Chain A
Amino acid sequence: MPSGLDKLQHIVVLMMENRSFDHMLGSLKAVNPAIDGVDANTFTNPDAKGNVVKPQPKAEFQAQLQPDPDHHFPAVDLQIFGGGTGANRQANMQGFVKSYFNQQRDAKHSQTIMYYFPQDKLPVLTTLALEFAVFNRWFASIPGPTICNRAFAHYGTSFGRVDLNPIYPPEAIKSIYTRLIHANPKRTAKVYYYDTTSSTMEVANLLQNQPELFGTYSQFLSDCEKGDLPDYSFIEPNYSDHQGDSGEEIANDQHPDHNVQAGEVFIASIYQAIKNNPELWESTALLITYDEHGGIFDHVPPPGCTKDIFTADGNATGTGTPFQFDRLGVRVPTVLVSPWIPKGTVVDRVFDHASIPATITRFFLGDYSPRSPRETSADIFLEPKGAASDPARNLLSLDVMRTDCPDFDA
């Protein structure tokens, strides 16, 4: 068994907000052609008048994507299918500019939805993507907004929701945290929200019933320093500009129109907190992902997937057509960090956020049921230890730990 996987004890997932793969990492195709990023010669979108709009490296940290690009179910349906209807329509990713135009009827401004960041503007995310493993095919779980997509990361399903309304999970399907802390032998798990003022975005029901599962970002830093990190940690960014205990706290979730640099600093701080503790660094894998694309362009059509046991009816989807959770959402930036991953790894297998509980469950608990069909059919990004491990799929494949990993001054 490769020593990297053998040493793995902690898995940390950081989920940011509302940015697409091409928008954040699309520039990296020029550096490493294996990364499926932006090619302005082959992918364009029509604007409302039919003019061709090319992707451009003009994304700004803030004050550009106003209003917040629509990413509710009907808008994402337009973005993916370009306005096509009927059973045989094809996902062509031709509706991003049209969708943004619908919000303000401003043809020039609607082109900003096709902007992406040049590599040097995002030194943290692009460096981690080039240094460790970047996923070419990690999609949001649903072509819809935040809450239902985040639910997939915790439960492996959104229980039929495609919107922002509260989720009431039935007793049968447990959150990944409940599965772990009730396991025998018992496992440890924590959701670290930024602070009590930012709180948790998606699992108010868990906070309500199991507040002991929650900690803060400062506790995460302290747990890293002391070597007290649980088996599984899920980190939430700061969702709002607010007055905190130590002064002004800038939202660092990268949700438009929050400052993208603040998110870069936040990502770097999580990485450094793990890396600065040598024992933790060698025994931890950090997954950085985004809940959904936030209405921003991406060129890869989301594939179909196994149906869930739930269906959203035509009223719930807002399109008049029911949704059986049989198609993934738009592609999001996702990077896996560990000193046991070969530099420049590019993963082409298909994943979505249901892969998170699927991987954590498999790694720490082995077989477990009941789980949603979406979760049981989702691919895993970390192989289980022991005989069940498939060396060909193991991303922590180095026998000797790397010593050339980057450091950030965050």
Chain B
Amino acid sequence: MPLIRVPKPPKSAYDPGRPASSLLKSQAEHLREAESKLPLRYRSKVYVKSIKTEEEAARYIRDVTQAIHEAHEDAERARRTPKRKQVLEIAAAADERSKPKRARRKPASKRPKSRKSKRKKK
């Protein structure tokens, strides 16, 4: 079968200033809902109702989509990091507690004789 040619749209088809359709506006609303559940530092300062054009809708949708991904990646990182830190902290604390004991404990030959043994010798 011969290669089928697929005509490309003309350059003039691109119009980011086109008024945003009710569908795009509703997509922005859906993402606003999702955004409202993110921690404050990830939220944009865009008032969704003020979106008029496709470009404005697209910019907001991009920012929220990226923020959602970032928030999840950060949460995932944080979820892993404290665990590791906690394990290390516990290990370090255990080490700290055991070290002095070991340090205080001298080889048997160098240990001072206990009162009990001294008493026995007497």
One of B54-62, B88-96, B97-105, B106-114 contacting the partner: B54-62
Q: Which of A127, A197, A207, A259 contacts B59 (CB 8 A)?
A: A197
- The smallest beta-carbon distance between B17 and chain A, in angstroms, is 8
Q: Which of A124, A205, A242, A407 contacts B55 (CB 8 A)?
A: A242
List the B residue with the shortest CB-CB distance to A62.
B13
- The smallest beta-carbon distance between A198 and chain B, in angstroms, is 7
- The smallest beta-carbon distance between B101 and chain A, in angstroms, is 47
The interface residues of chain A lying within 8 Å CB-to-CB of B61 are 196-199, 240
List the B residue with the shortest CB-CB distance to A204.
B30
Are A199's CB and B65's CB within 8 A?
A: yes
- Cα(A406)–Cα(B2), bound, Å: 7
The interface residues of chain A lying within 8 Å CB-to-CB of B62 are 195-197, 199, 242
Are A146's CB and B23's CB within 8 A?
A: yes
Are B58's CB and A124's CB within 8 A?
A: no
Are B6's CB and A409's CB within 8 A?
A: yes
- The smallest beta-carbon distance between A210 and chain B, in angstroms, is 9
A40 at interface by CB-CB < 8 Å: no
List the B residue with the shortest CB-CB distance to A123.
B4
One of A108-116, A247-255, A307-315, A383-391 contacting the partner: A247-255
- The smallest beta-carbon distance between A340 and chain B, in angstroms, is 17
The interface residues of chain B lying within 8 Å CB-to-CB of A265 are 6, 8-9
Are B8's CB and A124's CB within 8 A?
A: no
B18 at interface by CB-CB < 8 Å: yes
Are A243's CB and B16's CB within 8 A?
A: yes
Are A204's CB and B13's CB within 8 A?
A: no
Q: 8 Å CB contacts to A: which residues of B18-44?
A: 18, 20-24, 26-27, 29-31, 33-34, 37
Are B26's CB and A165's CB within 8 A?
A: yes
- Cα(A91)–Cα(B118), bound, Å: 111
The interface residues of chain B lying within 8 Å CB-to-CB of A198 are 58, 61
The interface residues of chain A lying within 8 Å CB-to-CB of B5 are 123, 408-409
- The smallest beta-carbon distance between B6 and chain A, in angstroms, is 5
- The smallest beta-carbon distance between B65 and chain A, in angstroms, is 4
The interface residues of chain A lying within 8 Å CB-to-CB of B3 are 407-409
B61-92 Cβ-contact flags toward A at 8 Å (1 or 0): 11011101100100000000000000000000
Are B13's CB and A207's CB within 8 A?
A: no
Given A123-B4, A240-B57, A241-B55, the answer on whether A261 and B18 have CB atoms closer than 8 Å is no
- The smallest beta-carbon distance between B55 and chain A, in angstroms, is 6
Q: 8 Å CB contacts to B: which residues of A192-236?
A: 195-202, 204-205, 207-208, 211-212
- The smallest beta-carbon distance between B76 and chain A, in angstroms, is 9
- The smallest beta-carbon distance between A281 and chain B, in angstroms, is 15
The interface residues of chain A lying within 8 Å CB-to-CB of B15 are 241
Q: 8 Å CB contacts to B: which residues of A252-283?
A: 255, 257, 259, 261-262, 264-265, 268
A181 at interface by CB-CB < 8 Å: no
A388-407 Cβ-contact flags toward B at 8 Å (1 or 0): 00000000000000001111
A68 at interface by CB-CB < 8 Å: yes
A183 at interface by CB-CB < 8 Å: no
- Cα(A250)–Cα(B8), bound, Å: 11
Are B14's CB and A239's CB within 8 A?
A: no
Are A164's CB and B23's CB within 8 A?
A: yes
- Cα(A265)–Cα(B37), bound, Å: 37
Are A261's CB and B23's CB within 8 A?
A: no
Given A198-B61, A199-B62, A240-B58, the answer on whether A164 and B24 have CB atoms closer than 8 Å is no
The interface residues of chain A lying within 8 Å CB-to-CB of B69 are 196, 211
Are B14's CB and A250's CB within 8 A?
A: yes
A interface residues with partner B (beta carbon < 8 Å): 17, 61-62, 68, 123-124, 127, 145-147, 164-166, 195-202, 204-205, 207-208, 211-212, 239-243, 248, 250-251, 255, 257, 259, 261-262, 264-265, 268, 404-410
Can you list 14 A-B pairs with a CB-CB distance of less than 8 A? A124-B4, A124-B6, A195-B62, A196-B66, A239-B23, A239-B24, A241-B16, A242-B55, A261-B8, A261-B9, A264-B7, A406-B4, A408-B6, A409-B6
